[in-house]
Amino acid sequence: MTTTTPSKSRFKRLLTWLLTPMLVLGFFSGIIFWGGFNWAMEATNNEQFCISCHEMKDNVYKEYQQTIHYSNRSGVRATCPDCHVPKDWTHKMIRKIQASNEVYHKILGSVDTPEKFEAKRAQLAQHVWSVMEATDSRECRNCHKFEFMDFTRQQQRAMTAHSTGLTEGKTCITCHKGIAHSLPNLKDIDNSAVLGTGTKHNAPVVTTTPSTGTGQ
């Protein structure tokens, strides 16, 4: 039979006395931290935050306002984060970390004038296109999915292009460059691409040769 010495008993009481408030404090601190973290995530994941920088508000946002993604008969809009920020937590975190590079260039003033922005438009566009191609246009597919399209209700040109895209495994951005923002000069990027004239809100579209698909 073992007995607990007074010194050990005092040590246990002291340990309990110290650990209990620490655990309680840690628990509530965790809740506060997680709540604050999620608040910050949502606060930086909306259109108003995106256009709080004049580089966005005075350039790409004005272009976006002329497109069907901004204004249409149904009133359903795709805002900046809908197209440029992943929905799932892991990829959203990766995108937020990558955005630190944009903050860095904001500080540098890399595109703080219309002239600077236009000079970098092709580079910026190609970066976004490459990301979308690598993710199979993941953010587009939050709203648009081949398997739920009723091709019979589409115009012949769209039906043909979407049917071809489905069978050939193409991704949205392959054909739909320039759907929400003005295109850069494509001559220096892809000689097979031709700048078309969009009929919806004057939105430019890309029309490519039959070997790469047809833009809508």
pLDDT by residue (tens digit) across 116-160?
A: 999 999 999 999 999 999 999 999 999 998 889 998 899 999 999
How many Cα neighbours within 13 Å face the side chain of 59? 19
Answer yes or no: is 1 a known binding residue: no
pLDDT in tens, 24-53: 899 999 999 999 999 999 999 999 999 999
pTM recorded for the entire structure: 0.73
CB 130 within 8 A of CB 174: no
Answer yes or no: is 175 a known binding residue: yes
Would you call 206 helix, strand, or coil by DSSP? strand
Closest to 201 measured CA to CA, from 71, 34, 31, 91:
71
Answer yes or no: is 22 a known binding residue: no
Answer yes or no: is 140 a known binding residue: yes
Each domain of the chain, given as residue ranges in start order, spans: 26-207
For residue 94, give every residue at least 6 positions away whose Cβ sits within 8 Å of its Cβ, in sequence order, or none.
86
pLDDT in tens, 170-193: 899 999 998 999 999 877 666 555
**Nearest 10 degrees: Cα torsion 209, 158, 82, 105:** 20
CB 204 within 8 A of CB 198: yes
Answer yes or no: is 181 a known binding residue: yes
Answer yes or no: is 127 a known binding residue: no
Answer yes or no: is 149 a known binding residue: no
Answer yes or no: is 80 a known binding residue: yes
Answer yes or no: is 69 a known binding residue: no
Residue 201 falls in which region: left (phi positive, over 0), alpha (psi -120 to 50) or beta: left
Answer yes or no: is 84 a known binding residue: yes
